[in-house]
Amino acid sequence: MVIAIGFEGSANKLGIGIVKDGVVLSNCRRTYITPPGEGFLPRETAQHHRENALVVLQEALDEAKVKPEEIDVVCYTKGPGMGAPLVSTSVVALTVAQLWNKPVIGVNHCIGHIEMGRLITGANNPTVLYVSGGNTQVIAYSRRRYRIFGETIDIAVGNCLDRFARVLKLSNDPSPGYNIEQLAKKGKKLLKMPYVVKGMDVSFSGILSFMEERSQGLLGSGEYTPEDLCFSLQETIFAMLIETTERAMAHCESSEVLIVGGVGCNLRLQEMMGIMCKERNAKLFATDERFCIDNGAMIAQAGIEMFNHGWKTPWEETTCTQRYRTDDVEVIWRD
Amino acid sequence: MSTEFQGFELIKQGAEGRLFRGSYLGKPTIVKERFRKTYRHPDLDDYLTKERMKAEARAIVRSKAAGVRTPSIFLVDFERRRIYMEDIKPSITVKKFITDSLLGCSGEDALGKIKPVALEVGSIVGKLHAHNIIHGDLTTSNMLYSISEDGQITVTLIDFGLSHVENSAEDKGVDLYVLERALLSTHANADKLFPIIMQSYKKANNKDSKTVLDKFEDVRARGRKRTMVG
């Protein structure tokens, strides 16, 4: 029986969660929300995490009804992510590990998403679409690594959505992507925009520039409504994601798909993926905002897998890194 | 949505559409039907399907002129979203060839077996780029390996749906990046394969391989930079 606590703070969410043998006991979170038209910057985000860390930690312990001495291992996000928020969160994790005299495991954020998705949905060996504000990857497991088959060659899909939300001055509460999704439901008219797929890779920067340049004109002339633009953007970029996922599935002969990451809780994306899966007799696995969006439990879950296979991060290696690729991690817990 | 038509048998559902095998005008034929993808908006689906059928037909003709083996096109039916093309047989995908070669073989032996095929792959990609054809989806699933009785190896390139004609080093660099990444994720010995491929690529595309390789390095660097934020 292993109880792990996970600390996540790689972007604008601070999450602390406790997992006991595949059961999530608590999963507490605070999100740093910026005013409409603005994104989050490293310094202010780190400050947000510092200010909230102890409150969220107490909440996670209380909710899980777990005493510090019952915890077996402390897990934290080593990377990838923004430097300052990563460090401010890891300092808390490392401090409690010292206070409670527990081993530490540094976890790759992307691996956390994948392992959480597998735990919650029961997917066995899925092709993974990992879509968030910082990452867009199509991943499949082989030879002890989560291999990246396709990814964005410039900005992440969530970054494209967030920055488009800034163009429309949409609220960042609860998240810009959520507000785009709500508006898109009322959109009807499809605007033709670049559609950029290169094999299993995608590109979003051209689409973003296109939208940034034309949105004001299209709205001003009354030709398109904000709803239409949100609808058009979603339909286009999601179609690109589904297409590359399907290509990776065909290439790997896979019949399961798992969607993880913050953008993964978009219901339209899930719906489109579901249709694609049905057409090829595949199965879709997806989760909701509790587990899709960055959280502490996912770091704990990946940490448990590593801990159960004898892994501990040596103290001198308990650092953070902004760049940490999914395929850098040797997946010792799978065959 | 028709899944079968007279004399044709469904063999596979690929990423782009369904593949059927049969006979057309007495020749062994593969039909690729890009059926309606209902997950995407109908306008977007019509547009993409039409563009890709055009791209595929065009690039295949151009590639033949460039001396690259591709299936011959027999018929393009926009109405039914089908392309009728030559069935290359007997053949297996290069992906299967590499995977099979690695089975029960030491790394060195397998590499010796794969090397001529890798050189051929580099040479055909080089020829494409020398003629400004960007394939757009270079993976080992999209290359067919066949060997004649006298041991002559042929690699046939298929799936040109994402191709376009472009003289830019950037696009060629991205094409190579796609190939490298597909190799790395699929094959255990990719780190040894790719340099062999590049060796013959440079020969086949000596005209602008230097600028393309510089761009390729740029694209790679961009890929690495992009992992900044989780």
Question: Is pTM beyond 0.90 here?
Answer: yes
> What's the confidence (pLDDT) of residue B226?
53
**From A200, A239, A323, residue closest to B228, measured CB to CB:** A323
Query: Catalytic: which of B43, B45, B77, B137?
Result: B137
* Catalytic status, residue B214: no
Taking residues A278-299, report their average pLDDT.
96
Taking residues A175-195, report their average pLDDT.
97
Helix (H) or strand (E) holding A30: strand A23-31
- Annotated binding residue A113: yes
How do residues A36-76 score in pLDDT, each as one tens digit? Answer: 999 999 999 999 999 999 999 999 999 999 999 999 999 99
Contacts of A159 in chain B (CB under 8 A): 229
The ipTM estimated for the assembled molecules is 0.90
DSSP A152: B
Q: Which long-range contacts (CB under 8 A, 24 or more apart) does A310-313 make?
A: A311/A105, A312/A73, A312/A103, A312/A104, A312/A105, A313/A78, A313/A103, A313/A104, A313/A105, A313/A106
Residue with tokens 């002129």: B65
Q: Buried (b) or exposed (e) across A138-163, using 16+ Cβ within 10 A? A: bbbbeeebbbbbbbbbbbbbbbbbbb
- Annotated binding residue A49: no
Distance CA B160, CA B76 (A): 14
Mutate to test the interface with A, among B178, B225, B227, B228 (most CBs of A within 10 A): B227
**From A199, A273, A325, residue closest to B137, measured CB to CB:** A199
Over its length of 230 residues, how does chain B's per-residue pLDDT go in tens digits?
Answer: 444 577 899 999 988 899 999 999 999 999 999 999 999 999 999 999 999 999 999 999 999 999 999 999 999 999 999 999 999 988 999 999 999 998 877 778 888 999 999 999 999 999 999 999 999 999 999 999 999 999 999 999 999 999 999 999 999 999 999 899 889 888 888 889 999 999 999 999 988 899 999 999 988 887 655 554 44
- CB B227 to CB A109 under 8 A? no
Whether the predicted pLDDT of A94 surpasses 90: yes
Smallest CA–CA distance from A147 into chain B, residue: B185
Distance CA B219, CA B216 (A): 5
Taking residues A82-110, report their average pLDDT.
97
CB B123 within 8 A of CB B200: yes
Q: Which of A276, A327, A253, A243 is nearest to B137 (CA)?
A: A243
